Amino acid sequence: MRIDVLTSLYPSPKAPFEGIFAARKWEGMVARGHGVRLIVPLPWAPGFLAPFMSSERARIAAAPAHETRDGIEILRPRYLHIPKGGSKNADRFAKAGLREVLTKRREGPGRLADACVLDYAWPAAAAAPELALARVPCVINGRGSDVLQVRDVPGLRESLARGLGSASALTAVSQDLLDAMVELRGEGAAAPAVLTPNGVDSAHFCPGDRSAARGTVGESAEGEVVLVVGHLIERKDPLLALRAFLSLERPSARLLFVGRGPLEEPLRQAIEESGAGERVHLLGERPPEELVHWYRAANVMLLTSSREGRPNVVLEALSTGCPVLATDAGGTSEVVPDHSRMLARTREPSDIGAMLASLLDQPPPADTLRSSVEPLSWANSLDALESLLTDLVPGA
């Protein structure tokens, strides 16, 4: 099957870890014999102004317009993105992507794409009505904030709902998110809605010796380690993680943040003001293949998000046998195995701290945690997507 993927989230040379879970999915489809092409429209940013841009805009400017990565052709057309441009930015994103999808279809049956997947609902969903008019089977895939955050913004909500209602099918990484997409598209749309959760590579994310892992990452074998993995952004709420940790009052425990983002400086300042700088460290972004050692090194992984799809870090930590304490957000409750001990239905730091202390004192067995996510393999996830696309494009 020939599949075009229109998305705003995919790795690039300057951001190799951005959307790595999406790369794994589409690399998996290529390994199954499907022809996949990625179309990733980016805001126009002139390269000659790179020295005067923010790091984010400079990264965008440096992204190549065309490359091949792991057998996948990747195109990055540019479009005009205006700050606070709302749904008009989404329309321009969609137009840039549609030029590639529909032009490719006009180049003859030998290069015809059988279906288009809008993989990250917003802003890609803005392309769905035009794809429907062109009779291109179209699947919109939701991952989290691309639906849950956008639906709360007037103007964007209407555009997203229109796109969802035009799609041939909806998919999402969690049932909670899929239900939200179905509700948002409204009554009268009968297109199928299918759960396609991200998988976890259990062969890589497996239990190991904690002391050896700490040696590998350069951490002391002594004391307890609480690990936070993820972007330092508002919806991940790293400041809540810090406050919950500080409520522990365990001098021997350390809190380690793996990730980067705009809240890095506020977080660093809060750490300094707390006087806990010797026990709390910001480690920056780490390569994906290194994360298994951090999970093994940790006593507990802490996630304090206010919005989530189905967080990959929870799957990875559990598969490694690392206990998880997560706030009740989105589809997190669908994967955390023990709600009474590992799912915080509160955002009060002291309450989260008390639950954290309980897990540090009496951690669940590693094999129990690992078995809870064994069904969530990439093979099962790809099976679900492949089956849906086959139904939409019979004979492809």
Establish if 204 belongs to a structural domain.
Answer: no
Establish if 205 belongs to a structural domain.
Answer: no
Q: Are residues 166 and 232 in the same domain?
A: no
Predicted pLDDT of residue 106: 54
The Cα–Cα gap between 47 and 375 comes to: 45
Nearby residues of 259 by Cβ (< 8 Å), 6 or more positions away? 228, 229, 230, 231, 232, 236, 238, 284, 285
Q: Are residues 221 and 175 in the same domain?
A: no
- pTM for the whole thing? 0.90
Q: Comparing C-alpha atoms, which of 70, 79, 48 is closest to residue 61?
A: 48
Predicted pLDDT of residue 122: 96
Predicted pLDDT of residue 53: 64
Establish if 281 belongs to a structural domain.
Answer: yes
Which CATH number belongs to the domain containing residue 12 in this structure? 3.40.50.2000
Nearby residues of 210 by Cβ (< 8 Å), 6 or more positions away? 221, 296, 297
Share of the chain above pLDDT 90, in %: 83
Structural domain total, the chain: 2
Work out whether the CA dihedral 161, 163, 167, 170 comes out positive or negative.
Answer: negative
Predicted pLDDT of residue 196: 95
Give me the residues of the chain with pLDDT under 70, please: 47-53, 104-112, 396
Q: Are residues 222 and 181 in the same domain?
A: no
39-54 pLDDT, tens digit per residue, is 999 998 776 666 666 7
DSSP, collapsed to helix, strand or coil, labels residue 10 as coil
Predicted pLDDT of residue 111: 62
Kind of pairing between the strands at 324-327 and 300-303: parallel
55-106 pLDDT, tens digit per residue, is 777 777 788 999 999 889 999 999 998 888 889 999 999 999 999 999 866 5
Q: Are residues 233 and 275 in the same domain?
A: yes
Predicted pLDDT of residue 52: 65
How many distinct helices (H) and strands (E) make up the chain?
A: 17, 16
Q: Are residues 57 and 82 in the same domain?
A: yes
Domain that holds residue 30: 2-199+377-392
Predicted pLDDT of residue 202: 94
Predicted pLDDT of residue 107: 57
